[in-house]
């Protein structure tokens, strides 16, 4: 590794009409000295040279019809697909996760919470795979305390795909108790096998229901456990940059 | 018997979903779509213990719609019964 | 020919003969139907405040921090470093009784528009709710719908709902109360007022298309009692579209903050009519409105329908011709309709055009400002005619098992945790939330500064029923006390005055008394009233609600880091009761829950004591002498102690991952208390009786002396210490109660069981 | 022409709303209701500029359903066209 301080990693946060955690994601990333961040407008067709794309939480197009169903047709999404196909890092948070599944960039779908209510609550997340660009700053088995807030966070996928995902390490985060044990009592939405976050086969596209961008400052109610996910992305891209 | 209930937003009541989908369609390449209204479709089996006449079933299902399945203040509903 | 409207038509719209005569005088003859419809709405109770205006003048409304008092869409308070907070509360009681989900949702939508119309970015919502008893299925249906509607709308907008209150009393059975409060942040020099100006400027309508939503809503729904015709009034239900409102927020803030528009006004009650006439009236100008240019959702609407429609998510802007293109561009970027529907004139008339014909022509100022004023002669209600006296304690036999009585209180719907509701709200979006719901006050930071703001909602309707003056005064004192416990300095009030039919002398008396109580308390606490709302006619079949003057209060921090919550922190900390030790059964939750009675003389707030007490608490928080502070409200001292113990499972005001698990998330064990009360004849009243001006604080043993010194001559009683696992109260050698905190937690969190 | 689309949760996919409704019905006095499935009912007009054959309309509407109105991973759809 060179001793010169590396270039900051350039993030882009996509803004869809109805996104409402776009500013939070922007703010969260801006608290990292190793990163810069810009907004990407849904009607644009290029990614302005960013190195990592965040699809933020919120209610794109009001979540009407299905969450993420309309957003996935936005002009920017073609660019995001091309970027992902080239190995670019894409992180979908909540509504962003929903949009990635609708777009076919991640397997499965997110349906209505079993409680049929919006749920805003702190949850514990067990890191199931720390070998992804989004979790490398964690160790397997680590427990992160991060808030969920959603109405449709109930992850579902057909059994064959799920088996393949597990074999391939694509289940990245699970809801668990404070001791790291996944279980029904810790699962806020009924997601299959308590899944909270997954990645694609090539591990460069990642979606999670909880909101790490609301857990980056210890002074706030959300705590700071979410930092490790953003730090992972920064580390991944910084190392890549330095290596190349 | 099988029951199929169709629930639609009442005439004159705003349907934000329908409006949003309608606005989105042209960008996907679908021209000429108008008057989009989005409601619910509910299927269920109704086999009360001891059986029930078709007429009674109609009354019961209507009751279910009014009290639980639909919101009569802003929604209309229709239903079909299917022996078997 | 334009149709002319006679007295019969006026009466059908709820106008009186005198009002009609005044209209004829202003119009110089019989009004047109459009004119009459406009008058009937603008002069309805809801829009004109005809019964309340003269009384509201009693409120203190100014002060060095107040940048905008009542009279605009929201009041504005300077909170330091060039930042200001715009805040207001609005009732949506009647619409919520008809359709709870949409009624509550559109209530949130309306109050949020009032905030961003000023140029402020909405940053918090609170909701103050009242229902009949939870045992009634209809009330559970209303609660479920109202909370769901607030969540649906506020969550979609990305505005954190950080606080509120929910009470259940039989008096609200026919009239639930849904009071939505919102506040926003704005740079103090960016405040925009809703004043039309500049003859020749465009009048532009932005947002949703106009349909028949809520036609007559203002007059029909908000200004009459409910009766059997309720069913027929249903078609005017408004459906909210939070997605469009979210786009409106972004587009309008860009338009306002970058000065692309002259001014802006939201379309609330009475729609285009009230927004256009108020803007014209305030600006001493006229407006020409071409009703035929308004984009419609339903093709066959008549001009009067267009003028009074209450379709949601619409804004009216005054735009200079040179800036029209920019404005249209910004709206297009957000996929919002933006239509020029008229222009500013020098006629001072609100003139309505319809396909080339003038169908209405009204002097804007007289319409907006000359609405009738009615002062009902007030009459003290029968139930209070004999000066109420404190009840005779002897008629309240003390319970054998005080532990069971405490559990009963903690499980009572008015006291039990409202987590079921607030977990449906996104309370964390915008990344400013320091203190989440579930404690005395919600605390937020202001990004980029060390500053913070705090909010609390309060009103005990039962106290206001037993004595509207004392009850209203106590509501202000309690809201301020909640903020002070969190370490914030209370600075301003917004109020929502919910009452029955003001045409009745008894109701008017309650109203006047409550306003007097609020005014005195606000003067003493130096918290001027900057905005508010009045909701009358909360009666069904002649049965009025408890008078419910809801107080919403803003507090500020120079340094938000010093905020405090009510959770016990460490074993061995000393527990102190600041304030008078005595509790009273009169009007208490204990009286209602344990004895099934509501009667007596509620204690009066000693405002001088209250002011000193709160100053001492704030000072102790600022000097970091306290570990926790929690005020004693419903359920008295014992419930306050229990709540602090239960909250110990969640350090820093955070919460359990699994609310059902009787185990604190991080510390792994509950903190309880071991306290002793002085010898009294009625320990139950010392534990569960209620009284104002009482705060339970804890501090490290080493800081006790400093806290005592700060308290000066305030009543000060060392009760005991924070211990592990259980809450134990003794009197001398006698054990009054001892319960594991995990058990108290279980009962306290039991509300969902009763909602299923 | 008029189009009516019916969207139902796929067999084997959990339907939390259906489950809840099914559980709520007995308390309201309705016994014997099973297999409740809740989906969507969408109505729209499709009149593309220049007109369209019935066959082409079927293809277009099918496309709309597959790409936007339904999510094939979790939902099935059917539709009807109605001249006029
Ligand atoms: N109880 C009250 N206390 C203080 N101000 C009030 C009260 N009721 C109404 N106001 C003020 O009167 C004005 C008109 O209120 P309202 O008609 O509710 O406004 P809007 O049309 O924006 O809903 C506002 O400035 C409001 O703050
Ligand atoms: Mg307003």
pLDDT in tens, chain D (84 residues): 999 999 999 998 989 999 999 998 998 889 999 999 999 999 999 999 888 899 999 999 999 999 999 999 999 999 999 876
Q: Which chains touch C (3 or more CB pairs under 8 A)?
A: A, B
Strand segments, DSSP code E, in C92-131 are 121-131
Q: To probe the interface with A, which of D16, D38, D40, D77 has the most A CB atoms within 10 Å?
A: D16
For residue C229, the model assigns a pLDDT of 47
Catalytic residue check, C46: yes
Point out the residues of chain C with pLDDT beneath 70: 1-3, 216-235, 650-668
Pairwise CB contact (< 8 Å): A62 & C335: no
ipTM of the complex: 0.93
Whether C45 lines ligand 1, by a CB cut-off of 6 Å, is no
**Cβ atoms of C159 and C125 closer than 8 Å:** yes
CATH fold of the domain at A9-243: Rossmann fold (3.40.50)
Side-chain-side CA neighbours of residue A90 (13 Å): 30
Q: What pTM does this model have?
A: 0.94
Tokens of B47: 């086999």
Just list the catalytic residues of A. Answer: 94, 211, 213
Query: Predicted confidence band at A241 (pLDDT cuts at 50, 70, 90)?
Result: low
For residue C75, the model assigns a pLDDT of 97
Residues in Cβ contact with A20 at an 8 Å cutoff, skipping those fewer than 6 apart: A56, A57, A58, A59, C156, C157, C158, C246, C429
Q: Does A119 touch chain D (CB under 8 A)?
A: no
Which residues place a Cβ less than 5 A from the ion ligand 2? C 73, 114, 266, 268
CA nearest neighbour of A144 among A94, A197, A206: A197
Q: For residue C70, give the ligand 1 atom closest to its CA.
A: 25
Tell me which of A216-220, A232-236, C324-328, C458-462 is least confident.
A216-220
Label the pairing between strands A171-176 and A119-127.
Answer: antiparallel
User: Average pLDDT of B4-16?
Assistant: 93
Q: Residue C270 and residue C215: Cα distance in Å, rounded?
A: 8
| Mutation to probe ligand 1, out of C497, C533, C549 (largest number of atoms < 8 A from CB) | C533
Q: Residue C86 and residue C210: Cα distance in Å, rounded?
A: 28
Nearest CA to ligand 1 atom 13: C71
Tokens of C320: 């200079």
Measured between CA atoms, how close is D31 to chain A, in angstroms? Answer: 23
Q: What is the largest CA-CA distance in chain C?
A: 91
Q: Residue C215 and residue C227: Cα distance in Å, rounded?
A: 19
Q: Is the torsion defined by CA of A73, A79, A80, A82 positive or negative?
A: positive
Q: What are phi and psi of A191, to 5 degrees?
A: -55, 140
CB-CB neighbors (< 8 A) of A73 in chain B: 24, 27-28
Pairwise CB contact (< 8 Å): B64 & D37: no
Q: Which chains touch A (3 or more CB pairs under 8 A)?
A: B, C, D
Write the residue in C212, C234, C243 that is nearest to B73 by C-beta: C234
Q: To probe the interface with B, which of C237, C245, C337 has the most B CB atoms within 10 Å?
A: C237
Q: To probe the interface with A, which of B15, B17, B19, B40 has the most A CB atoms within 10 Å?
A: B17
User: Average pLDDT of A210-237?
Assistant: 94
For residue C651, the model assigns a pLDDT of 40
Q: Is the torsion defined by CA of C116, C122, C128, C134 positive or negative?
A: positive
**How many structural domains does chain B have?**
1
In chain D, DSSP finds a helix count (H) and a strand count (E) of: 2, 3
Q: Residue C146 and residue C129: Cα distance in Å, rounded?
A: 9
Q: Residue A138 and residue A144: Cα distance in Å, rounded?
A: 9
> Chain C: residue nearest B15 by CA?
C239
Place of tokens 């016990």: C568
Measured between CA atoms, how close is A28 to chain C, in angstroms? Answer: 9
CATH fold of the domain at C564-657+666-756: Phosphoribosyl-aminoimidazole Synthetase; Chain A, domain 2 (3.90.650)
For residue C217, the model assigns a pLDDT of 46
Whether C275 lines ligand 1, by a CB cut-off of 6 Å, is no
Nearest CA to ligand 1 atom 19: C73
**Cβ atoms of C525 and C483 closer than 8 Å:** no
Q: For residue C497, give the ligand 1 atom closest to its CA.
A: 1
For residue C609, the model assigns a pLDDT of 97
Q: Residue A60 and residue B11: Cα distance in Å, rounded?
A: 26
For residue C183, the model assigns a pLDDT of 98
Tokens of A14: 């996509």
Strand segments, DSSP code E, in A48-139 are 52-55, 89-93, 109-111, 119-127
Q: Does B13 touch chain A (CB under 8 A)?
A: no
Q: What single-letter DSSP state applies at residue A182?
A: B
For residue B12, the model assigns a pLDDT of 85
Tokens of A223: 């705590």
CA nearest neighbour of A78 among B27, D69, D64, D74: B27
**Cβ atoms of C308 and C273 closer than 8 Å:** yes
Helices (H), C529-635: 589-595, 607-622
> Chain C: residue nearest B35 by CA?
C297
Q: Residue C462 and residue C694: Cα distance in Å, rounded?
A: 19
For residue C403, the model assigns a pLDDT of 97
Sheet bearing C161-168, strands edge to edge: C66-68, C75-80, C83-91, C177-187, C121-131, C161-168
Q: Residue C370 and residue C43: Cα distance in Å, rounded?
A: 9
For residue C330, the model assigns a pLDDT of 97
Q: Residue C95 and residue C175: Cα distance in Å, rounded?
A: 10
Q: Residue A171 and residue A169: Cα distance in Å, rounded?
A: 6
Tokens of A92: 């979908």
> Chain B: residue nearest A74 by CA?
B27
Sketch the domain layout of chain A as residue ranges: 9-243
Instruction: Enumerate the β-bridge partners of residue C739.
Output: C727
Domain extent for B37: 2-82
Sketch the domain layout of chain C as residue ranges: 564-657+666-756
Summary mean pLDDT of chain A: 94
Q: Is the torsion defined by CA of A59, A65, A68, A73 positive or negative?
A: negative
pLDDT surpasses 50 at A36: yes
Label the pairing between strands C716-724 and C671-676.
Answer: antiparallel
Q: What single-letter DSSP state applies at residue C70?
A: B
How many Cβ atoms sit within 10 Å of the Cβ of residue C80?
A: 16
- What are the tens digits of pLDDT across the range B16-60? 999 999 988 888 888 999 999 999 999 999 999 888 899 999 999
Pairwise CB contact (< 8 Å): B31 & D49: yes
């Amino acid at each position: 590794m060179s001793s010169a301080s590396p270039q900051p990693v350039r993030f882009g946060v996509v803004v869809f009409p109805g996104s409402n955690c776009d500013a939070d994601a922007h703010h969260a990333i801006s608290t990292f000295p190793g990163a810069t961040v810009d907004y990407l407008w849904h009607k644009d067709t290029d990614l302005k040279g960013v190195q990592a794309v965040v699809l933020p939480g919120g209610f794109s197009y009001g979540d009407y019809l299905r969450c993420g169903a309309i957003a996935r047709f936005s002009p920017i999404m073609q660019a995001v697909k091309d970027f992902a196909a080239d190995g670019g890092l894409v992180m979908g948070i909540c509504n962003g996760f929903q949009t990635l599944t609708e777009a076919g960039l991640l397997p499965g779908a997110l349906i209505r919470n079993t409680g049929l209510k919006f749920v805003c609550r702190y949850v514990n997340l067990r890191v199931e795979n720390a070998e992804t660009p989004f979790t490398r700053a964690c160790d397997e088995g680590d427990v992160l305390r991060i808030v969920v807030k959603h109405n449709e966070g109930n992850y579902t996928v057909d059994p064959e795909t799920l088996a393949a995902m597990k074999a391939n390490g694509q289940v990245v985060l699970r809801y668990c108790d404070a001791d790291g044990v996944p279980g029904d009592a810790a699962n806020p939405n009924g997601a299959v096998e308590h899944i909270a976050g997954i990645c694609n086969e090539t591990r460069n596209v990642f979606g999670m229901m909880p909101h790490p961008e609301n857990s980056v400052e210890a002074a706030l109610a959300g705590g700071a456990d979410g930092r490790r996910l953003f730090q992972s992305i920064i580390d991944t891209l910084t190392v890549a940059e330095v290596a190349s | 018997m099988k029951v199929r209930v169709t629930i639609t937003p009442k005439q004159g009541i705003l349907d934000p979903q329908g409006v949003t989908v309608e606005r989105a369609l042209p960008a996907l390449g679908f021209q000429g779509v108008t008057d989009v209204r989005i409601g619910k479709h509910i299927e269920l089996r109704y086999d009360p213990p001891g059986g029930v006449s078709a007429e009674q079933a109609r009354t019961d299902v209507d009751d279910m719609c009014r009290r639980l399945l639909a919101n009569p203040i802003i929604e209309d509903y229709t239903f079909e019964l299917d022996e078997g | 020919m334009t149709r002319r409207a006679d007295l019969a038509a006026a009466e059908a719209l709820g106008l009186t003969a005198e009002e009609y005569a005044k209209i004829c005088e202003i119009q110089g003859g019989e009004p047109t139907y459009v004119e009459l419809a406009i008058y009937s709405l603008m002069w309805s109770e809801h829009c004109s405040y005809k019964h309340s205006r003269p009384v509201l003048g009693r409120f203190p409304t100014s002060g060095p921090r107040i940048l905008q008092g009542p009279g605009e869409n929201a009041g504005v308070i300077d909170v330091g470093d060039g930042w200001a907070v715009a805040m207001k509360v609005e009732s949506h009681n009647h619409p919520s009784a008809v359709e709870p989900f949409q009624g509550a949702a559109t209530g949130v939508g309306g109050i949020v528009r009032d905030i961003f119309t000023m140029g402020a970015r909405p940053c918090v919502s609170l909701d103050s709710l009242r229902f009949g008893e939870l045992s009634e299925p209809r009330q559970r249906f209303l609660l479920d719908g109202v909370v769901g509607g607030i969540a649906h709308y506020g969550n979609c907008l990305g505005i954190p709902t950080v606080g509120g209150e929910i009470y259940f009393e039989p008096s609200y059975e026919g009239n639930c109360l849904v009071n939505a409060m919102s506040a926003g942040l704005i740079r103090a020099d960016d405040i925009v007022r809703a004043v039309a100006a500049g003859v020749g400027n465009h009048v532009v309508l932005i947002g949703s298309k106009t349909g028949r939503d809520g036609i007559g809503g203002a007059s029909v729904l908000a200004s009459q009692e409910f009766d059997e015709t309720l069913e027929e009034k249903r078609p005017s239900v408004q459906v909210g579209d939070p997605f469009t409102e979210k786009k409106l927020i972004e587009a309008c803030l860009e338009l306002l903050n970058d000065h692309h528009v002259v001014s802006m006004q939201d379309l609330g009650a009475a729609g285009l009519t009230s927004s256009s006439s108020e803007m014209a009236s305030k600006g001493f100008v006229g407006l020409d409105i071409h009703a035929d240019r308004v984009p419609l959702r339903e093709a066959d609407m008549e001009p009067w329908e267009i003028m009074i429609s209450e379709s949601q998510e619409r804004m009216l802007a005054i735009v200079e011709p040179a800036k029209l293109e920019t404005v249209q561009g910004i709206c297009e970027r957000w996929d919002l309709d933006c239509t020029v529907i008229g222009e500013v004139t020098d006629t001072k008339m609100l003139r309505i055009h319809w396909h080339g014909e003038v169908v209405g022509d009204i002097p804007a100022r007289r319409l907006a400002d000359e609405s009738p004023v009615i002062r009902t002669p007030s009459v003290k209600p029968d139930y209070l005619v004999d000066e109420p006296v404190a009840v005779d304690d002897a008629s309240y036999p003390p319970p054998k098992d005080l532990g069971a009585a405490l559990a009963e209180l903690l499980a009572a719907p008015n006291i039990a945790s409202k987590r079921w509701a607030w977990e449906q709200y996104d309370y964390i979006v915008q990344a400013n939330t320091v203190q989440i719901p579930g404690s005395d006050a919600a605390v937020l930071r202001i990004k980029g500064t060390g500053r913070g703001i705090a909010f609390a909602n309060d009103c005990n309707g039962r106290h206001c029923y037993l004595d509207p003056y004392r009850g209203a005064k106590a509501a202000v004192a309690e809201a301020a006390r909640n903020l002070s416990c969190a370490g914030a300095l209370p600075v301003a009030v917004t109020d929502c005055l919910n009452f029955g039919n003001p045409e009745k002398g008894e109701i008017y008396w309650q109203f006047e008394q409550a306003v007097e109580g609020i005014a005195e308390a606000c003067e003493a606490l130096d918290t001027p009233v900057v905005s508010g709302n009045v909701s009358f006619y909360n009666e069904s079949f002649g049965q009025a609600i408890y008078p419910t003057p809801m107080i919403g209060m803003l507090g500020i921090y120079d340094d938000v880091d010093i905020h405090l919550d009510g959770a016990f922190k460490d074993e061995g900390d000393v527990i102190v009761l600041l304030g008078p030790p005595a509790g009273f059964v009169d009007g208490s939750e204990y009286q209602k829950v344990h004895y099934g009675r509501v009667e007596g003389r509620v204690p009066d707030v000693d405002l001088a004591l209250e002011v000193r007490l709160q100053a001492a608490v704030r000072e102790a928080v600022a000097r970091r002498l306290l570990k926790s502070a929690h005020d004693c409200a419903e359920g008295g001292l014992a419930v306050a102690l229990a709540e602090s113990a239960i909250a110990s499972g969640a350090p820093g005001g955070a919460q359990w991952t699994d609310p059902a698990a009787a185990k604190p998330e991080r510390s792994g064990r509950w903190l309880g208390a071991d306290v002793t009360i002085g010898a009294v004849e009625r320990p139950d009243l010392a534990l569960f009786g209620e009284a104002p001006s009482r705060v339970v604080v804890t501090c490290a043993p080493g800081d006790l002396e400093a806290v005592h010194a700060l308290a000066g001559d305030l009543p000060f009683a060392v009760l005991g210490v924070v211990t592990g696992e259980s809450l134990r109260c003794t009197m001398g050698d006698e054990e009054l109660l001892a319960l594991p905190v995990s058990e108290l937690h279980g009962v306290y969190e039991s509300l969902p069981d009763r909602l299923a």
